[in-house]
């Protein structure tokens, strides 16, 4: 029952941020201010909110559908892997967060990973990011192709592009785009933001830390050496955060600390991966570099 409730709440939160054009604080601040005045202001604010929803419902629906499709396919990659290997697992838990520009913190599943061996953990871990990218890449491509950065930017938040979306912007010859340029709130479109979120979450999940997807992959590739890789990654993330004084990176570092750096042993670490899995695993380690925008947002 809880996974269903969380899914519905995430539908609502992602629809809401899409309706507000990824600025969910504005209408809430307006409504809160009206309650501090009198009933006439409340009625006016409620009417403005209703008009906002009627005007932008299509944007909310497109964004909600696209971003939840990416998250769902990602988690189904893991879930199908657990079914194939008969590893007990929960349904996906979607994480709503209506008071941030993207409306969600992603999704997770719980599984009894200790009963899976090295090869099984590798397959389950890498299946999610690959499945999610199969959906996220075309959504991001179409979203980037719809951008027009010649419009005068405004809004307090700019979305920084990960490398892969920078390549999309260059190959699509997006009007007004130049290297390092950010996309501001008034320049966004639903598919762009959904693709951007898909890249962000995939890149973060593939960090080689603990029981993140990337942690599963690095442990199955390198064994206990993965613990050293995870700790170095965490130290680098903290140093990068301090150097750039980035609040958004604080959230990432806290998440990595909560996950923990060390991956537990599998049921049998001696099972061979084989050359195909080894090549796929090593190649997948570049996903955070390609998909994760290091500074995430630019605040104006």
The model's pTM is: 0.92
**CA atoms within 13 Å, Cβ hemisphere of 253:** 18
Which of the listed ranges 30-39, 96-105, 114-123, 154-163 does the model predict with the highest average pLDDT?
Answer: 114-123
Mean pLDDT over each residue of the chain, to the nearest integer: 89
Q: Is the pLDDT of residue 69 over 90?
A: yes
pLDDT tens per residue across span 196-245: 999 999 999 999 999 999 999 999 999 999 999 999 998 998 888 888 77
What region does 180 belong to: left with phi over 0, alpha with psi -120 to 50, or beta? left
CA gap 114, 122 in Å, rounded: 13
Q: What letter does residue 123 receive in the DSSP assignment? A: H
What region does 296 belong to: left with phi over 0, alpha with psi -120 to 50, or beta? left
Q: What are the C-alpha distances in Å from 135 to residues 22, 146, 294? A: 21, 17, 22
Confidence (pLDDT) at 43: 64
């Amino acid at each position: 029952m809880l996974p269903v409730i969380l899914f519905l709440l995430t539908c609502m939160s992602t629809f809401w941020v899409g309706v507000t054009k990824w600025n969910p604080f504005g209408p809430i601040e307006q409504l809160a201010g009206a309650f501090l005045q009198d009933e006439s202001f409340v009625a006016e604010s409620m009417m403005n909110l209703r008009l906002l929803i009627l005007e932008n419902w299509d944007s909310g629906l497109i964004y909600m559908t696209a971003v939840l499709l990416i998250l769902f396919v990602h988690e189904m990659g893991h879930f199908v892997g657990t079914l194939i290997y008969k590893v007990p697992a929960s349904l996906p838990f979607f994480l709503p967060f209506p008071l941030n520009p993207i409306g969600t913190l992603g999704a997770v599943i719980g599984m009894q990973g200790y009963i899976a061996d090295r090869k099984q953990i590798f397959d389950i871990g890498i299946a999610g990011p690959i499945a999610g990218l199969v959906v996220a890449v075309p959504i991001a491509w179409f979203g980037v192709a719809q951008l027009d950065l010649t419009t005068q930017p405004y809004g307090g938040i700019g979305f920084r592009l990960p490398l892969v979306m920078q390549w999309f912007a260059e190959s699509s010859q997006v009007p007004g785009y130049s290297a390092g340029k950010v996309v501001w709130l008034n320049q966004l479109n639903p598919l762009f933001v959904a693709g951007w979120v898909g890249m962000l979450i995939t890149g973060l999940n593939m960090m080689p830390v603990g029981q993140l997807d990337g942690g599963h992959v690095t442990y199955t590739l390198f064994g206990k050496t993965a613990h050293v890789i995870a700790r170095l990654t965490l130290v680098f993330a903290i140093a990068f955060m301090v150097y750039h004084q980035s609040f958004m990176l604080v959230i990432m570092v806290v998440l990595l600390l909560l996950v923990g750096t060390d991956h537990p042993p599998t049921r049998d670490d001696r099972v061979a991966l084989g050359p195909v899995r080894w090549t796929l695993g090593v190649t997948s380690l570049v996903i955070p570099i390609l998909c994760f925008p290091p500074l995430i947002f630019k605040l104006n």
